[in-house]
Amino acid sequence: MATQQPLPTSLDLNNIQGDILSGLPKKTETYYFFQINNVPTFRSQLLQFEKLVKSVAQTLKDREEIEKHRRHNPATGHKPHVIPMVGVNISFSQFGLVKMGISGEKFTDTAFKSGQLADSINLGDKGTSEGSEFVPDWEPAFKEQIHGLILIAGDSHNTVNKKIHEIEHIFGLDTAHPSIREVTRIEGDVRPGELSAHEHFGFLDGVSNPAIIGFNMNPPPAQPQSDLDREPWMVDGSFLVFRYLFQRVPEFDKFLGMTKREGSELLGARLVGRWKSGAPIDLAPFKDDKELAADPQRNNAFSFASERNFQKLCPFASHIRKTLPRADLEELGISIEDRRIMRRGIQFGPEVTRIEKRESRTHHGRGLLFACYQSSIRNGFQFIQQSWANNKTFPFGEETPQEPGFDAIIGQGPDRKLSGVDPNDPAKELALKEDWVVPRGGEYFFSPSKKALRDTFGLPPKL
């Protein structure tokens, strides 16, 4: 067996964009998608814009300030005022790199190079065929060529909007000859009160992000990485996937309520793999355990070990088992470390209205601005969606006569169904006749380092 090369144990936190490792602190976030009109002007303006881009080190300081503010404002029945704070990051698509004339020859990630519009058919997105071309059922803006994405996250809409105006001024959008054109912008907001950190179906989100070597206190064992033969300017960068995901919450709630004999809360938990509190059903299979959910040392301390012939605790096709199968593969000697993704994103749209609840029908658009970082889109997001969530025979190492079925939440394909929902009759299949998560757009990006923004992307203006 070849000797494994050790991975770096330290990271340049002043060079890596802040959202990648620590996540930009936010109560609201705007995703600003753009095309480049004038390449020389844009690249010269990037030198000024780069000063606004927050690094991981700066983001960690922001989080320290937030925590200090909380400690100095003890609970009095009212939450302390939020500190005015804003963070900016930027990323580029393959089309953006080509537009700027920046070489990405050493990128071997086929998903990134083709773009998500072309990849939508592989992801299972619904659409129509126009001759030899597949056209997904996406919002028109995402059928355009998008060159880049600016993330602006902050404590309030007012703070974020002020920063957007500053950014637009840098790129000349208040002049007759701007260097970029806004394709679309989407605004997301953390849900109110106790619903904060929960997505619109009501489940706690972002519980099981991976630890990072050289950043987290308890990282996973080092694993060989692929697709890392890159140009020097690519160091400290990361691939970013964005998905515009609409959630049909009233319809999902109606489906859960139609199966009262199993209990709607239990059915929802078995479809997701966690209770709404975040407690994993592998540890709390039949009743929610909020104390377990609140303990970060315990709420992820499970692996589906010795359960390859067993669905009583957690169905094979539950969302968290499909997208992070743990021992289902590791007991077969298959590492999942190169499939890990760092999830970000934020919710968008209003809370469900009384009329929507009464009619069990969606009237207002809401969902998740899904974002995730990884070293390879092909090995990360694309593989998870295509080979795991959409694959009704996965996990393939299971030893039961039942077919696992589709990921009930994000799995896409014909004749959607899954087994294992009924813990007393795991062979019983449940038909999923509706899609509760509907993709309406997206793109693949690369988030370069601050040094790359200055030295490779930015160009001094010609005299």
Catalytic residues: 205
Question: Measured between alpha carbons, how far apart are the two ends of the chain, in Å?
Answer: 57
β-strand partners of 59: none
In this structure, what DSSP letter does residue 17 have?
B
Task: Return d(Cα 452, Cα 455) in angstroms, integer.
Answer: 5
- String of DSSP letters for 151-191: EEEESSHHHHHHHHHHHHHHTTTTSSS-SEEEEEEEEEEPP
Question: Do 397 and 308 touch, CB atoms closer than 8 A?
Answer: yes
With H, G, I as helix, E, B as strand and everything else as coil, classify residue 213: coil
Judging by beta carbons within 10 Å of its beta carbon (0-12, 13-18, 19+), is residue 222 exposed, middle or buried?
A: middle
> What helix, strand, coil percent values describe the chain, rounded to 5?
30, 20, 50
DSSP labels, 41-62: HHHHHHHHHGGGBPBHHHHHHH
Lookup result for tokens 């007393």: 424
- Tokens 């009501």 locate to 202
Long-range contacts of 359-367 (CB under 8 A, 24+ apart): 359/250, 360/250, 360/251, 360/253, 360/254, 361/250, 361/251, 362/248, 362/249, 362/250, 362/251, 365/246, 366/200, 366/246, 366/247, 366/249, 367/200, 367/244, 367/245, 367/246, 367/247, 367/437, 367/438
Q: Coil, strand or helix: which one is 311?
A: coil
Q: Which amino acid is at 395?
A: P
Backbone angles phi, psi at 187, to 5 degrees: -105, 130
Judged by phi (left if over 0) then psi (alpha if -120 to 50, else beta), residue 206 lies in: left
Give dist(CA 59, CA 451) in Å, integer: 17
Residues 6+ apart with CB under 8 A from 68: none
* Pair of tokens at residue 290: 């909020």
Nearest-10 crossing angle of helices 157-170, 39-49: 130
8-state DSSP, 227: S
